[in-house]
Amino acid sequence: MPELNTSSLPDLIFSVLFFFMMVTTMREVTLLVRIDRPTGTQLEKLARKSCTSFIYIGRPATDQLRSKWGNQTRIQINDDFATDATQVYDFVMSDRNKLAEIDKPFYTVSVKADHETPMGYITDVKQQLRKGYALKMVYSANKPTNK
Amino acid sequence: MGKKRKMPGLNTSSTADISFMLLIFFLVTTSMDTDQGLARTLPKPPEDEDAKNELKVKERNILNIRINKDNYLMIGDDYVGLDEVKPRAKEFIANPENRANLPELKPKKCGILGTRMVTLNHVISVQTDRGTSYGVYFQVQDQLVAAYNELRDELGKQEFGYKYEFLSKEQKEAIRDVYPQKISEAEPKQYGKNM
């Protein structure tokens, strides 16, 4: 019985590897705020993750951050805290410009906020989104866990 | 010496193992989870101060839901609990008995369902205080979407025998025409005071 020729096995694995390398998004931000998202029953899936920007709202997550920033609710944009809500406008403008022209109508902003956040912060962010004509938004939430 | 020796082939039997390791690394780090949430479309920013007065809706066509800073809920003039939001919203959206204090029914062409009487101009407005907690606001929004979804499911079953999500594209469109989702995301404003 001749041995099975495995010389093409590396090529095969490599092609699977390249597939995963391409679909992986490495641009995950580290969360600086603690977010316990609200739970909803009527959720939809986000259609295009590549056309979505994320805004995180919550209290600073670690003691180290709290000693520097206090325990107030903060808005996190990319890898930093926003000093005030107007930075949301700049963020939306620059992030949308990175997209290809055909993707721009699908630009969505996903707001990931802690469920204890006062609505004032959310309203401020929404006003900034309106100002920047980023009119599609998503209130990010968790699915209810099955009992 | 001087005699050329044949070079042995490089042993590549471990390449597969190496690429397997890389593959497994990427498999583990890939986040395939999709974000979920309630999608909303915000209204355009007001062009100028005068444009603010354009959005006037008749009193009967608005369902005002207010949440104060202590997270108490009000629909119209009544204090209510969270579980009352959905039935009240359903009654408001459909207005099956054509009551005078609920939105007016107007004829509208609804695709393959033909012309129907629908509450064309109804608006649900959720107003909050700056101190209202986001969790409560979200729950109310979720209940409102649930109200729309239940009405659509009911109509789908009644007309086509299936729930909304199992219908064809045209059927879905027709049902969406009957029950269009109109949840106002606008800033709290005084609506229809002078009507």
pTM: 0.77
B39, B186, B44: which is closest to A111 by C-alpha? B39
Span B52-66, pLDDT tens digits = 555 667 777 888 888
- Which among A17, A55, A124 is the top mutation candidate for probing chain B, defined by the most B β-carbons within 10 Å of its own β-carbon? A17
Span A74-121, pLDDT tens digits = 888 887 888 787 888 888 888 888 888 888 888 889 898 998 888 888
Span B64-119, pLDDT tens digits = 888 888 888 888 888 888 888 888 888 888 887 777 778 878 788 777 787 888 88
Domain ranges of chain A: 28-139
Q: CB A141 to CB B13 under 8 A?
A: no
B19: nearest CB among A13, A26, A44: A13
Q: CB B134 to CB A113 under 8 A?
A: yes
Domain ranges of chain B: 55-144
- A27: Cβ–Cβ under 8 A, 6 or more apart, which residues? none
- Provide the shortest C-alpha distance from residue B3 to chain A (in Å): 30
What ipTM is given for this predicted complex?
0.78
Both tokens assigned to A26? 């490495």
- Provide the shortest C-alpha distance from residue A135 to chain B (in Å): 5
Check CB contact of B165 with chain A, cutoff 8 Å.
no
Can you tell me whether residue B37 is helix, strand or coil?
A: strand
